Structure 1
């Protein structure tokens, strides 16, 4: 009988083994990259580079990414790259955007947040911290959840002042007939109507051109938003009304946020709260720096009769109490917390 010879597969050459190893490593790398890309966390906002909101967003992303490691990555898109405030709030609710930093627009989505649109309600940041702990978190954040929004952190937009090209504003009557851009939000419109102005909601990204072309006579914003948007280049006067302190919120869509891995959720929420100290410190520093830079550009600054503005604001408080369920209680608690300041 003739013995059957067993055939052996030829051993892979060193070159073949190295090639297979490289191909395997590349496949693994592509797989891990795909998984990593699925956990990209987009953070959108409307503010420009150097603004308080942008600095806050960048600090949050830096610290969050340090803590997240390879679990996920926060990427910041500022200057309305992902849309205006209204559009981004819709994207949060739909789950097509992970994070945004709304401010006034919150009052258009959750009526109780209109409390922060009440003139001269918040006295300073220490007062705001008390409101956050005793009114905002226990009462208002659950309301936001019901509307589909998860508030991770309470930050700051700032104390708002009026700029315009017509005249210095000293008393409310100086605003009579003035075309004034305001952010989307019913209470800011009502407030300036009560002062005699002609307010028009407009996306932040459109304001510079509206001022430059004379479509709008003026606008109102915190110093950091005014300076970073270069409004001082197209405005003659800045009146230090300090009419509203506006918080900003690091917000997510509730459903989208819950779909993230639990450890990622925890890191994002903890980081959002930890960054508040940086936000407040940066805001205080900018408050001390920016007015001189704005006036150096040729915009003239003036103080105002705040008592006259406060007196003209009483009707807004009364209307808020009537229109928003529980609004009077919210305002009264917030005001009482400011007694020590």
Structure 2
């Protein structure tokens, strides 16, 4: 009997210390084929698969196949999905991510790199980890613009009464309410049908999301507001990722961070190419009065400073890092 107990104990001990068996790691995202998310995740998988030890691989599942953003975040914690690429929804995970909901905060990608180094890694990434998530790298969703079927949007007053889809995040809702719109949070995968059926009048997204989701087929006006720049976060479960072999963790982290240059270059080119594509597709494009939007945004900055601990300091630091951009 003692020998059986000893053998059982040894088996349990071995199972606790044995390295995880090699497997396919699932990367879920909400982007459609041809989107920046799709290009980014597929490039990462290619880089990661070249670095990973034998038997390990990354497989990408786009178009919300594995779930919408909030579902993907839940599945990370359950361990049924290994990577997700959330963007605006992260402000619902930790309030510090609301920094990137502040309108006209990020000037360009060089400015974003400085914010990443000075603010994201020291302050915002640890806030995600406190909630059970680990951010491996910063990629991009992009500069957001408004499409709708009511009128061209030149100033905030033009948004009066417009039913506008937003991501699930309190700051985007507050921002568009302050501009006079009627914001409606909705999962990205539901937006096309909602636009097509008139449930909503419009939405706001980077050009890469607008074009790949074919919103030009159900929207008349594209207004180049550039009101918010949204990073995308290569996100894993802190718990499950930490259980992977160290060589696997290192390969995945390196691949995620190395992919940022590809993401930024691809995003910049898409901004040029897709604008022409959307014009050719029949959308009426207009430039917005960005100064009018900036002046209308003071209340959002004030609310963020008041409601988020250290919010004013983060905003001040981010703005200061924009000098010279």
TM over 0.5, shorter chain:
yes
Q: Secondary structure at the match of 2:144?
A: strand
CA–CA distance in 2 between the matches of 1:93 and 1:60? 21
Q: Secondary structure at the match of 1:199?
A: strand
CA–CA distance in 2 between the matches of 1:324 and 1:39? 40
Work out whether residues 71 and 264 of structure 1, in 8 Å CA contact, stay in contact via their aligned partners in 2: no
Work out whether residues 152 and 273 of structure 1, in 8 Å CA contact, stay in contact via their aligned partners in 2: yes
Q: Secondary structure at the match of 1:275?
A: helix
1:88 aligned onto 2:108:
no
Could you say what the CA RMSD is over the residues aligned between the two structures, in angstroms? 1.2
CA–CA distance in 1 between the matches of 2:218 and 2:92? 29
Q: Secondary structure at the match of 1:47?
A: coil
**How does the TM-score come out when normalised to structure 2?**
0.93
Q: Secondary structure at the match of 1:181?
A: strand
Work out whether residues 20 and 244 of structure 2, in 8 Å CA contact, stay in contact via their aligned partners in 1: no
- What residue number does 2:190 align with? 206
CA–CA distance in 2 between the matches of 1:136 and 1:304? 29
How many residues align? The count is: 307
Residue of structure 1 aligned with 2:273, choices 281, 289, 292: 289
1:316 aligned onto 2:262:
no
Q: Secondary structure at the match of 1:105?
A: helix
Correspondences of 1:91-102 after superposition (within 5 Å)? 91-102=75-86
Residue of structure 1 aligned with 2:24, choices 24, 27, 40: 40
Work out whether residues 22 and 55 of structure 2, in 8 Å CA contact, stay in contact via their aligned partners in 1: no
- What residue number does 1:153 align with? 137
Residue of structure 2 aligned with 1:55, choices 33, 36, 39: 39
CA–CA distance in 1 between the matches of 2:91 and 2:21? 33
Work out whether residues 36 and 72 of structure 1, in 8 Å CA contact, stay in contact via their aligned partners in 2: no
CA offsets, 1:78-104, max 9 Å, x none?
A: 000011001111111232211000000
CA offsets, 1:51-102, max 9 Å, x none?
A: 0011000000011011114241101010000110011111112322110000
**Judging changes above 3 Å, is the alpha-carbon distance between structure 1 residues 338 and 99 closer, same or farther for their aligned structure 2 residues?**
same
CA offsets, 1:188-236, max 9 Å, x none?
A: 0000000000001000000000001100100000000000000001000
CA–CA distance in 1 between the matches of 2:85 and 2:21? 22
Q: Secondary structure at the match of 1:247?
A: strand
CA deviation after TM superposition for structure 1 residue 38, in Å: 5.3
CA–CA distance in 2 between the matches of 1:94 and 1:315? 38
CA–CA distance in 1 between the matches of 2:77 and 2:39? 25
**How does the TM-score come out when normalised to structure 1?**
0.88
CA deviation after TM superposition for structure 1 residue 40, in Å: 1.3
- What residue number does 1:279 align with? 263
1:185 aligned onto 2:164:
no
1:325 aligned onto 2:309:
yes
CA offsets, 1:308-327, max 9 Å, x none?
A: 10000000000011111111
- What residue number does 2:98 align with? 114
- What residue number does 2:233 align with? 249
Task: Detail structure 1 runs of 4+ shifted over 4 Å in the superposition.
Answer: 35-38
1:268 aligned onto 2:252:
yes
- What residue number does 1:127 align with? 111
Q: Give unmatched runs, 5+ long, in structure 1.
A: 1-34
Q: Give unmatched runs, 5+ long, in structure 2.
A: 1-18
